Structure formats: C-alpha cells, structure tokens
Copies of this chain bind each other. A is one copy, B any other.
Amino acid sequence: MAKIKGTKNSPRKEVIIIKASQLFREKGFNATSMRDLAEHVGVEAASLYNHIKSKSELLQEICFKVANNFMTHMEEVVISDRTAIGKLEAILRFHINQMLHNYEEVYVGDREWKHLTEPYLSNMRSQRRIYRQHIASIIEDGISKGEIKKIDAPTAVLIMLHAIGGIESWHRSQQKISGELLEENMVMIMIEGIKATGIL
C-alpha cells in the first residue's frame, strides 16, 4: 500500500540533522545546546530523543556522511586514467563544489570532528590520514613524471585542503563573485602554483 502522508513526507530526523548542521557550523558543537537545537526544530528538547539517540550521534552522522562522500569520490579519481594534474584538479573541483553546495555539513565535518568520541574519533583520524596520503601520492607521481614542480608533497596537500576551507569566508562575504568564478580562480591559482614550469 502506498504510504502517502501528504504534509509530512520528510522524516523528522532529517530536519533535525539539517538544523544541527547549521547550528554546529555557526556556533560550534559544544556551544550548541539541545534546547537550542530543539527551538530551531520547533519542538521541546526532550522530544528530540524520540528521533535520535544522543547529541553525539548527530555529530557522527554528519561527519561520517561527509567523509564517505569524499572518500567515494577519491576512489573514483584514483583509479581514473587522468594525469596527476588532472586528478588534482578533479579533487580540487569536487571539494570546491561540496563546499559551495553542501556548505553546512562539509564545514562541520571539517572543523568539528575533533569533538567526536571514541571509537569514532580514531576512525575519523585514520580516514583523514588516508585521504591526505592519497593526494600526496598523486602529487609525488606527478613530480616523478615531470608534470609537477619539485615540492614537498605533504606541504602541497595541506595548502590545497586548507585553501578550500577558506570558502567559508566567501560564504560570509557580502560582495561575492559567482560560485563558478570562484571555482575557476581557485583552480587557476592552486594548479598553476604547482605545475612544472620547465624553468625550474
């Protein structure tokens, strides 16, 4: 039988997670209280527990959803037949687009994962390490093939990843350029910065 609810087709838990993402991003995980969250959902704090197990669970769901998202894309890129520069550009563009169109959750996943509890904390740490190592490997591959100038790969990785985090400032900016233009500017600056010039 078709279960058609009419007004309430979106489950309550989804709404809670979305609101939680916004608040965690805005004020941080620890500075966001359950009563705070409840008010934004339009409900009393106690009622939240009909849908979620704990405040921690909210952070876990947000962080691991984001992490899986990035990890899945990374695996596709790694097995693709792009050049090293092409792979980096693909990763860069994916990050930028995620930051542009999935802002709240991505931001929380990036900045608030430290407040996860074990064993999720260790799990996240290792996922992030693996992710960075993937990028470093691509860079080192590019260097050995002469596509990329001779730089320290881990340094290039941290520059790339953190530069993208700066899109946060763009979101808050008043006179912002379009997302497409932002993407092109970032890609140009970052990719040109590591490309081999033939001179060096």
Residues of A within 8 A of B (CB): 27-28, 30-31, 114-115, 132, 149, 151-152, 154-156, 158-159, 161-170, 173, 176-177, 181-182, 185-186, 188-194, 197
Determine the chain B residues whose CB is within 8 A of the CB of A189 once the complex forms. 151, 155-156, 159, 193-194
Residue of chain B at shortest CB distance from A164: B162
Residue of chain B at shortest CB distance from A191: B193
Determine the chain B residues whose CB is within 8 A of the CB of A152 once the complex forms. 177, 181-182, 185
Q: List 18 A-B contacts (CB under 8 A).
A: A27-B114, A28-B28, A28-B114, A30-B31, A152-B185, A154-B170, A154-B176, A155-B177, A155-B189, A156-B185, A158-B166, A159-B189, A162-B163, A162-B164, A162-B165, A162-B166, A162-B169, A165-B165
Copies of this chain, whole number: 2
Determine the chain B residues whose CB is within 8 A of the CB of A154 once the complex forms. 170, 173, 176-177
Residue of chain B at shortest CB distance from A30: B30
Given A159-B166, A163-B159; A151-B188 close (CB under 8 Å): yes
- Contact across chains for B158 and A169 when beta carbons are under 8 A apart: yes
Determine the chain B residues whose CB is within 8 A of the CB of A166 once the complex forms. 158-159, 161-163
Given A28-B28, A159-B163, A159-B166; A185-B151 close (CB under 8 Å): yes
Residue of chain B at shortest CB distance from A162: B166
Alpha-carbon gap, A194 to B194, bound state (A): 11
